[in-house]
Amino acid sequence: MDTSDPREERPPPKRGPPPAAAVPRDHLVWAIFNTLYMNFCCLGFVALAFAVKARDRKVSGDVEAARHFSSKARCYNALATAGSVVLPLLLGALIVTGVIHLSKLAQESVGFFTYQFSGSDDEDQ
């Protein structure tokens, strides 16, 4: 009968060096997309500038500054995307509700404009 401890039979797990600080994303592709296609109030251009700064800092090895600029690029990209998606939807909703209101107003006013004065017919006879 084997009475040895099973943990002693296996070698201890190999541990590598501690993981380095996670390299931040620069959001450059998203910023280019916002600059070219959905440049709401030039926020896409601002996001592109911060994304390029984040990439430059990442390449030079300044991870903390890259993280700072990456955060700003992500914020401006989100604002540009939200503004470019929400505003056309809001404008479309306003147009649809305006058309519905005007059509109801036109239907109600048809009776006013088609009113015939019955007194004028009696005088002709």
| 8 Å CB contact between 38 and 44 | yes
Q: What percent of the chain has pLDDT above 90? A: 50
| pLDDT, average across residues 82-103 | 93
**Pairwise CA distance, residues 29 & 7, whole Å:** 49
In terms of pLDDT, which residue wins out, 41 or 15?
Answer: 41
Q: Categorise residue 25: left if φ over 0, alpha if ψ from -120 to 50, beta otherwise.
A: beta
Specify the pLDDT at position 107. 87
Q: Predicted confidence band at 121 (pLDDT cuts at 50, 70, 90)? A: low
- pLDDT classification of 18: cutoffs 50, 70, 90: very low
Cα separation, 38 vs 87, in Å, equals: 11
pTM comes to 0.61
